[in-house]
């Protein structure tokens, strides 16, 4: 089996890399099948049969539990470490203790500190805004810190009372309005955690000829955590990328998150790469995805730019209501796979898929979730849509 190697930070990709994949639960197997068929076709076409992905299934989720008695077997985590790059369909949330979320377990286990979400509009896709074509942003959301670190205590528990007693007695905190009935959460934001995220965003902007990185934060209120993120971001840019700044090749700016959400609607063309903390990033990603009409087709990836490890994934859930009905839109998973191709430098194959989607959507051919809003929409089953995209790719010059 040919492996992608990462030596001293440089990725070496064989012509037939093995890529581990998790099929996923619910609609996962359907979107995975569609994605692999389309990718195989685009790669064969782009490189005249000289490159090919060797797909290697690894277990996770409900089917893994039935077979192995665990939702996330060790071999799956090992495979992602060993092969560096993987892709996953959506996974159910385990019930009954243990792992809270399989996605979080994978991100933490591999320290995938960037949640990367590119947001662009495809002609033909109906959007709630007048000029969705002006939205072209890439969001770098910090994935490991912030109020999402999972450090919290429920009101009324001895732990919450102990925590409040510490705040009051040791730290002199008198500002908790209803201390007896408050739950508490802790928001860790570190220099290293912020810097590695912002460094990745700046490097991405330079590599992709993007004009600016905007630090999105609430530092006006949370001065040391969100304010720290902003301050460390500007300092890092000055220290590590002075030439790009001095030459005007790159601009670093910042925006308070609530203002950013307004501006992103009113003047989205002013923003390119966004670097933000975990909670802000969660809101910003979904708002921007909806703005291009594409929450169901928004792609995503979780990446550690230091080790090179990355998992690409559909951003929607397992959609149990439509599973097995041949109606799911495979594009979120498919466009995540296009990100994977770009990540390993197979841009030509990714471009073929994007061009095929553009043609299909602009002619009204899409799965029902998108086609029903298009004026000339022609709803297709998942399997029909997959064949349609393959036919367009095959016919491209």
Applying CB under 6 A, which residues contact ligand NAD? 90-93, 103, 296, 313, 316-319, 321-322, 328-329, 332, 369
Among candidate residues 258, 286, 326, 369, the one labeled active-site is 258
74 carries an active-site annotation: no
Q: Are 383 and 324 in contact (CB under 8 A)?
A: no
**Which run of H or E residues covers position 276?**
strand 273-276
Nearest approach, Cβ of 138 to ligand NAD (angstroms)? Answer: 19
Active-site residue (options: 40, 111, 136, 282): 282
Among candidate residues 45, 88, 187, 218, the one labeled active-site is 218
Nearest CA to 105 out of 61, 69, 64, 72 is that of 72
CB-wise, 240 or 282, nearer to ligand NAD? Answer: 282
For tokens 């086609």, the residue is 371
Measured from the CB atom, is 13 or 311 closer to ligand NAD?
311
**Is 286 an active-site residue?**
no
For the CB of residue 210, give the shortest distance to ligand NAD in the complex, in Å: 26
H-state helical runs in the chain: 28-46, 62-68, 74-83, 102-109, 158-171, 191-207, 226-240, 242-246, 257-266, 278-291, 331-343, 347-362, 368-371, 382-395
| Catalytic residue list contains 25 | no
Choice between 22 and 255, CB closer to ligand NAD: 22
Element (H, E) at 213: strand 212-217
Nearer to ligand NAD, 322 or 341 (CB): 322
- Hey, what are 344's tokens? 């390993």
Q: Note if 305 is an active site residue.
A: no
Residue whose CB is nearest to ligand NAD in the complex, by number: 317
Nearer to ligand NAD among residue 121 and residue 232 (C-beta) = 121
Closest approach of ligand NAD to the CB of residue 192, in Å: 26
Could you tell me the smallest distance in angstroms from the CB atom of residue 31 to ligand NAD?
6
Shortest separation between residue 80's beta carbon and ligand NAD, angstroms: 15
Strands 114-120 and 136-142: antiparallel
d(CA 94, CA 164): 31
Q: 221 phi and psi, to 5 degrees? A: -105, -50
The active-site residue out of 71, 113, 148, 164 is 148
Residues designated as active site: 148, 218, 258, 282
């Amino acid at each position: 089996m040919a492996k992608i190697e990462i030596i001293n930070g440089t990725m070496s990709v064989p012509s037939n890399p093995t890529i581990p994949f998790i099929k996923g639960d619910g609609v996962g197997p359907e979107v995975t099948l569609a994605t692999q068929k389309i990718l195989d076709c685009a790669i064969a076409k782009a490189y005249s049969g000289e490159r090919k992905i060797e797909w290697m299934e690894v277990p996770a989720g409900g089917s893994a539990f039935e077979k192995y008695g665990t939702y996330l077997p060790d071999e799956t985590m090992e495979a992602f470490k060993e092969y560096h790059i993987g892709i996953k369909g959506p996974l159910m949330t385990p019930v009954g203790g243990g792992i809270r979320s399989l996605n979080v377990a994978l991100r933490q286990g591999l320290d995938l500190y960037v949640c990367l979400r590119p947001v662009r509009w495809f002609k033909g896709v109906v959007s709630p805004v007048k000029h969705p074509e002006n939205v072209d942003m890439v969001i770098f959301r910090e994935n490991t810190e912030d109020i999402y670190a999972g450090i919290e205590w429920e009101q009324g528990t001895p732990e919450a009372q102990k925590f409040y007693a510490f705040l009051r007695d040791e730290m002199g905190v008198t500002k908790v309005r209803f201390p007896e009935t408050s739950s508490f959460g802790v928001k860790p934001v570190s220099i290293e955690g912020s810097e590695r995220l912002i460094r990745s965003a700046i490097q991405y902007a330079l590599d992709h000829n993007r004009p600016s990185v905007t630090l999105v934060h609430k530092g006006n209120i949370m001065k040391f955590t969100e304010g720290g993120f902003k301050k460390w971001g500007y300092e890092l840019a000055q220290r590590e990328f002075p030439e790009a700044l001095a030459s005007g090749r790159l601009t670093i700016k910042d925006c308070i998150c609530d203002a950013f959400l307004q501006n992103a609607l009113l003047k989205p063309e002013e923003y390119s790469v966004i670097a933000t903390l975990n909670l802000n990033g969660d809101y910003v990603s979904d708002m921007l995805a909806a703005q291009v009409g594409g929450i169901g087709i928004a792609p995503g990836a979780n990446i550690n730019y230091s080790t090179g490890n990355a998992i690409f994934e559909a951003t929607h859930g397992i959609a149990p209501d439509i599973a097995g009905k041949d109606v799911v839109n495979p594009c979120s998973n498919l466009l995540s796979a296009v990100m994977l191709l770009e990540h390993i430098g197979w841009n030509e194959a990714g471009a073929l898929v994007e061009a095929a989607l553009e043609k299909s959507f602009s002619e009204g051919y899409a799965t029902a979730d998108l086609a029903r809003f298009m004026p000339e929409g022609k709803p297709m089953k998942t399997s029909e849509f997959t064949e349609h995209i393959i036919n367009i790719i095959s016919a491209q010059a």
